[in-house]
Amino acid sequence: MDIERKILLNPGPATTTDSVKLAQIVPDICPREKDFADLMQGIREDLVKIVHGDLEKYTSVLFCGSGTIAMDVCLNSLLPADKKILIINNGAYSSRAVEICNYYNLPYINLEFEIDALPDLNKIEKTLSENKDIAFVYTTHNETGSGILNPIRKIGELAHKYHTFFVVDTTSTYAMRPINMEEDNIDFCMASAQKGLMAMTGISYVIGNRSIIEQSKEFPKRSYYCNLYMQYEYFEKHGEMHFTPPVQTVYALKQALSEYFKEGEKEKWNRHTRVFEAIHKGLEELGFKDIIKREWQAGLVVTVKYPDDSNWDFNAVHDYCYEHGFTIYPGKIGNQHTFRLCALGAIDADDIEKFFQVMRECLCKLHVKIPVNYNEV
Ligand SMILES: *Cc1c(COP(=O)(O)O)cnc(C)c1O
C-alpha cells in the first residue's frame, strides 16, 4: 500500500510511520478475548517503563479519548472532599485545567504567571505554606501553547515538601523529552498516543502512583466514564478497559511502542532536537522571531511572531504549505499574532529543510519581504 507522506508541524497528532498506520489492519477481534487483554497488559507496562517507573509503585490506566480526557480524569478523580488543587498556570493548557475545575466545581487556586515567564518558585512555596488544604499541585510540563518548559522537578519537590502530591500534564513531552517519575518528583503524569509516541488519536493514559489511586476509591465521584479508580480497578480485575476500547488504535499503539523502544529514548530525543534546531535555523534564515527565550523552550514547539508586512497572510501561507505536504499551525497565546512549528512525529531535519524551501517560495509568491520585517527592535 502506498500512502502519501505528509509532514505535520502542528502540535499533534504527529506524522506517523507507515508501519504504525498499517498495524491497524488486523483481523476483527472482540476486545473481551484474553489475547486482547494480554496485549493491553503489555502496553500498560510499557507506558510506565517509558517514564522509568517502578511497576510495583506505578501503574498506567488507559482511556478512550484525546489527551484532554487524561487531564479531566486526573482533576476530577484525585481530589478528596474538602481539599483544593493548586494549579501553576503560565499558559493555555493549565488554563484548560482551570476550566475543567470550573465545570466540576472543584475548589482550586489558580496561581498565574506570564505566558513567556517561568513560574516563581517562591510564590508557589508561599501558596503551599499558607494553604494547608491543598491536596495536589498541578501543572503542565511543556506548555504546548507557547513552547515553554516548566521546572517540574523543582515544583514537585515543593509539592512533596508540603505533603501534597504532584500531577503533571506531560502530553507534549512524554516519549520525547526523557522523564523519570522518581527523579522528577512526579506522582501522576499523562499523555496521549498521537503525540510523542507517534501513534493514532483516540487513546490516552494516566501514569501514576498506585497507592494514591487506591486511596482515591474513597474520594468523591464526579464522573462516571472518566473516573480513574473505576477504570483502574477494572484493569486490575479483568485486564481491560471498563467499556469498549478503540481496538485498532490499540494495535497501532502496540506497534508505536515497539518502534519507540527500537529507536531508543536518547536517540529519539536527539532526533527531535535535530528537528527543533533545523526549525530555528530555517526561521532565523528568513528573519522570523519567536516569543519564548530560547533557553526556556522545551525543544518541541516554536511559537513564531507574525512579521509586520502587509503582504503576510497566515492563511495563505498555511494553504500553500498544506498543498505542498506540510501542515503549520496557528498560535495559542492571548492577543499576540503567532503561529507554531513543532518538532513532533516521525520526521527528521531534512524534512524541515524541505519545508523551509516551500516556505521561502510561498513568501516570495506573496511578496513578503525576506528577511521578514518587524517594526519593533
Ligand atoms: C495536546 C495536548 C493535550 C490534549 O489535547 P487534545 O486536543 O485533547 O488531544 C493536553 N495537554 C497538552 C500539554 C497538550 O499538548
Looking at the fold, whether 252 and 279 belong to one and the same domain comes out as no
Residue 293 inside a domain? The answer is: yes
Give the amino acid at 37.
A
Best residue among 10, 66, 142 to mutate for probing ligand 1, ranked by most atoms within 8 Å of CB: 66
Of the residues 244, 262, 280, the one at which a domain ends: 262
Query: CA-CA distance, 72 to 68, in Å (whole number)?
Result: 6
Q: Is 340 annotated as a binding residue?
A: yes
- Ligand 1 nearest atom to the CA of residue 141, by list position: 13
CATH code where residue 287 lies: 3.90.1150.10
User: 13 CB under 6 A from ligand 1?
Assistant: no
Q: Give how far Cα 193 sits from Cα of 124, 190, 250, 280, 299, Å.
A: 31, 10, 9, 26, 19
Of the residues 262, 279, 298, the one at which a domain ends: 262
pLDDT digits (tens, 9 = 90+) for 290-326: 999 999 999 999 999 999 999 999 999 999 999 999 9
Residue 140 inside a domain? The answer is: yes
Mean pLDDT of 238-245: 94
User: 172 CB under 6 A from ligand 1?
Assistant: yes
CB atoms within 10 A of CB 309: 17
Looking at the fold, whether 291 and 192 belong to one and the same domain comes out as no
Q: Is the pLDDT of residue 377 over 80?
A: no
pLDDT digits (tens, 9 = 90+) for 16-68: 999 999 999 999 999 999 999 999 999 999 999 999 999 999 999 999 999 99
Looking at the fold, whether 188 and 149 belong to one and the same domain comes out as yes
Looking at the fold, whether 187 and 92 belong to one and the same domain comes out as yes
Residue 371 inside a domain? The answer is: no
Query: CA-CA distance, 26 to 281, in Å (whole number)?
Result: 42
Looking at the fold, whether 163 and 300 belong to one and the same domain comes out as no
User: 67 CB under 6 A from ligand 1?
Assistant: yes
Beta strands in 178-234 (DSSP E): 188-192, 203-209
CATH code where residue 131 lies: 3.40.640.10
User: 144 CB under 6 A from ligand 1?
Assistant: yes
Contact 16, 7 (CB under 8 A): no
Looking at the fold, whether 95 and 238 belong to one and the same domain comes out as yes
Looking at the fold, whether 255 and 306 belong to one and the same domain comes out as no
Grid coordinates representing 249 are 488504535
Looking at the fold, whether 254 and 283 belong to one and the same domain comes out as no
pLDDT digits (tens, 9 = 90+) for 70-84: 999 999 999 999 999
User: 170 CB under 6 A from ligand 1?
Assistant: no
Mean pLDDT of 360-377: 94
Residue 303 inside a domain? The answer is: yes
Mean pLDDT of the chain: 97
* pLDDT reported for residue 276: 98
Residue 13 inside a domain? The answer is: no
Looking at the fold, whether 226 and 285 belong to one and the same domain comes out as no
User: 10 CB under 6 A from ligand 1?
Assistant: no
310: containing domain:
265-365
Q: What is the pTM of this model?
A: 0.97
pLDDT digits (tens, 9 = 90+) for 123-147: 999 999 999 999 999 999 999 999 9
Distance from the alpha carbon of residue 205 to the mean position of ligand 1, in angstroms: 12
* CA nearest to 298, candidates 11, 6, 64: 11
Number of domains within the chain: 2
Looking at the fold, whether 95 and 152 belong to one and the same domain comes out as yes
Of the residues 262, 292, 307, the one at which a domain ends: 262
* Choice among 188-202, 248-262, 363-377 with the minimum mean pLDDT: 363-377
Looking at the fold, whether 343 and 236 belong to one and the same domain comes out as no
